[in-house]
Homo-oligomer: A and B are copies of this chain.
C-alpha cells in the first residue's frame, strides 16, 4: 500500500504562504513529519498561481533535500509538470488526469512522454457521477485515452472519488463498488483514494475517514492519499490489513506496536489479557 502524505498542498492557506515566501523550513518540517509518521510518498501541490511552474520546481527540490521519498506531483498544469518532473530523483506519481477534457489533453501527453505512473480521477466536465455506472463510464473513457497514448494500465491509479456522505447516503458504497468493478474489469489498473471529502460537513471526520479506508483496503486499494500523522488512521490501516489476512504472522502489526510506530504506546498489560471467557 502506498501511503501518500497529503499535507504539502499549496491550496491550503499556511502551505500556500510558505511556498510564496520560499519558507523551506516550514515545508521540510511537513515533509519530515509525514515521512516519520509512515508516508511512503509525499504529495506536493504548489497551488494554482501564475508562478506555479517555478513554485513546483522549488517544492520538488526543497522536499527532496529533506526526505528520501518519491513524490506525488500534484498539478493540473502541463507547464508546471513539464518544469518540475525532471527534477524528481525517484520516479514520481503524477496527480492527476481525469475525464475533464483540458486535463486529458494537457496532462496525459506529459505523462505518456515521461512514462510516469498517474492518478486518474473518475470525474469529467460534468462533475462526479452519483452512481457506480456513471463513475465507471468515465473510468473507461480515461483508460481508452491512456491506452491510446501508450500508457500501460499498470501505470494508472484510478481514484473513484468520494462525495460527501452528508449529501448522499450511498456515497461510500458507490465508491467501494466502483473500486471493485474497476479491479474486475481492468485487473492491471491500480486503485487510489483521497478520503476526506467523504466526511465533509460531519463531525469526528477522522473516524469516518478511517472506517472508510478499512473498507477501501478490502475493496483492493493500492494507494491512499491521507494525513499520515493521523495515528488513529494509520493504526486502522495496519489492523485492517492484518484482519484481512495480509500480514503473515501479524509481523508488521506486532513490530509497529513494539516499536511504538503509528502512535502505539506499548503497555505490558495490553498483550497479556486472556482469551475471552464469554464462551
**Which residues of A line the B interface, CB within 8 A?**
6, 9, 11-12, 43, 45, 74, 96, 121, 164-166, 169-173, 194-198, 200-205, 207-208, 211-212, 214-215, 218, 225, 235-236, 239-240, 242-245, 247-250, 253-254, 257, 264, 266-267, 270-271, 273-279
Q: How far is the CA of A218 from the CA of B164 in the complex (A)?
A: 20
24 A-B pairs, CB-CB below 8 angstroms? Answer: A9-B277, A9-B278, A74-B278, A121-B279, A165-B242, A165-B243, A166-B250, A169-B248, A172-B244, A173-B244, A196-B276, A197-B279, A200-B274, A200-B275, A202-B254, A204-B235, A204-B264, A204-B270, A205-B273, A207-B235, A207-B239, A208-B243, A211-B236, A215-B218
Q: How far is the CA of A278 from the CA of B11 in the complex (A)?
A: 7
Contact between chains at B45 and A278 (CB < 8 Å): yes
Beyond A215-B218, A245-B169, A266-B203, whether A196 also contacts B240 by CB under 8 A is: no
Interface SS majority for chain A: mixed
Q: How far is the CA of A161 from the CA of B173 in the complex (A)?
A: 26
Q: How far is the CA of A6 from the CA of B278 in the complex (A)?
A: 7
- Minimum CB–CB distance from A43 to chain B (whole Å) comes to 7
Q: How far is the CA of A78 from the CA of B197 in the complex (A)?
A: 53
Q: Which of A207, A243, A249, A275 has the most CB of B within 10 A?
A: A243
Q: How far is the CA of A244 from the CA of B11 in the complex (A)?
A: 30
Contact between chains at B250 and A11 (CB < 8 Å): no
13 extra interface residue pairs, beta carbon distance < 8 Å, beyond A169-B249, A200-B274? A74-B278, A121-B279, A164-B275, A166-B250, A169-B247, A172-B242, A172-B245, A196-B278, A197-B276, A202-B271, A203-B270, A204-B270, A207-B236
